[in-house]
């Protein structure tokens, strides 16, 4: 059972282990991503059902472009198919957004992303952020450049720049800070994911499960672990 009083406001999920899942079964890595996409759909819907308000999913990093082209092509194909299903999420009152440099994608993908964002903007359930062509350092750099341009144009006094202002210029805008980061697959690192937003996040790393096998019960386990943490934010 999930205690609604202890639910985090914002969780981040590093969907790790797709390639290893496929390799263990003697399959090309793109099959792991395909199965991982199904897990993603199930977890997003479940998160909305239990009342989570913000969830950011690490879909594709700025560093992932160095992977084999066949794997990248498979991920892009999955993305296109997913974008064609956006109306289902809108019907479930899920607001969809995309975090990252989206300019690298084909025009049709960018248009589908824009349509998903626009048509789901008034949804009041889960805000589902998809971090794609995303990197935490690149995000902070882009925010700093934006503020620098405003200062150079005389629109902003540099002395007025503070943490809150920089935070509002991140991809996540006015989203609440990340309370919980979940990473299956046995890796123990952030991998350049939400490095500003997760400054005081709790971390739950799961050794014995790869993302394609991640189920709602695994999310429950992470949330229950989070509920047992004593969060002091630098206090005592």
120 annotated to a ligand binding site = no
207 annotated to a ligand binding site = no
229 annotated to a ligand binding site = no
Q: Would you say 40 and 184 are in contact if contact means Cβ atoms under 8 Å apart?
A: no
CB hemisphere CA count around 38 (13 angstroms): 7
Q: Would you say 181 and 12 are in contact if contact means Cβ atoms under 8 Å apart?
A: yes
- Is 64 assigned a catalytic role? yes
221/206 Cα distance (integer angstroms): 10
10 annotated to a ligand binding site = no
228 annotated to a ligand binding site = no
41 annotated to a ligand binding site = no
20 annotated to a ligand binding site = yes
58/65 Cα distance (integer angstroms): 14
3 state SS of 167 = helix
Strand partners of residue 13? 57, 182
Please tell me which residue in 3, 5, 16, 129 is annotated as part of the active site.
Answer: 16
Nearest alpha carbon to residue 141 among 169, 174, 104: 169
189 annotated to a ligand binding site = yes
196 annotated to a ligand binding site = no
- Is 16 assigned a catalytic role? yes
For residue 135, the tally of other CB atoms under 10 A from its CB is 20
Please tell me which residue in 3, 38, 48, 64 is annotated as part of the active site.
Answer: 64
| Residues making up the binding site | 16-21, 29, 33, 61-63, 65, 67, 183, 189-191, 202
Residues assigned a catalytic role = 16, 64
| Residues making up the binding site for substrate | 17-21, 29, 33, 61-63, 65, 67, 183, 189-191
| Residues making up the binding site for Mg(2+) | 16, 202
């Amino acid at each position: 059972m999930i205690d609604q009083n202890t639910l985090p406001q914002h969780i981040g999920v590093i969907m790790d282990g797709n390639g290893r899942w496929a390799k263990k079964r003697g399959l090309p890595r793109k099959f792991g991503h395909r199965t991982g996409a199904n897990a993603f759909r199930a977890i997003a819907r479940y998160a909305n059902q239990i009342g989570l308000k913000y969830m950011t999913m690490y879909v594709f990093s700025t560093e992932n472009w160095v992977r084999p082209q066949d794997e990248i092509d498979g991920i892009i194909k999955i993305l296109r198919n997913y974008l064609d299903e956006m109306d289902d999420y809108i019907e479930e009152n899920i607001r969809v957004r995309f975090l990252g440099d989206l300019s690298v994608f084909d025009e049709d993908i960018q248009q589908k992303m824009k349509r998903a964002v626009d048509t789901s903007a008034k949804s009041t359930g889960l805000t589902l952020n998809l971090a794609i062509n995303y990197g935490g350092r690149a995000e902070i750099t882009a925010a700093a450049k934006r503020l620098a341009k405003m200062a150079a144009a005389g629109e902003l006094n540099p002395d007025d720049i503070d943490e809150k202002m920089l935070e509002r210029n991140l991809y996540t805008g006015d989203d609440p800070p990340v309370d919980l980061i979940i990473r299956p697959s046995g890796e123990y690192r952030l991998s350049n994911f939400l490095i500003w937003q997760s400054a005081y996040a709790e971390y739950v790393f799961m050794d014995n499960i790869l993302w394609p096998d991640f189920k709602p019960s695994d999310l429950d386990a992470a949330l229950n672990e989070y509920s047992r943490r004593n969060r002091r934010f630098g206090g005592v």
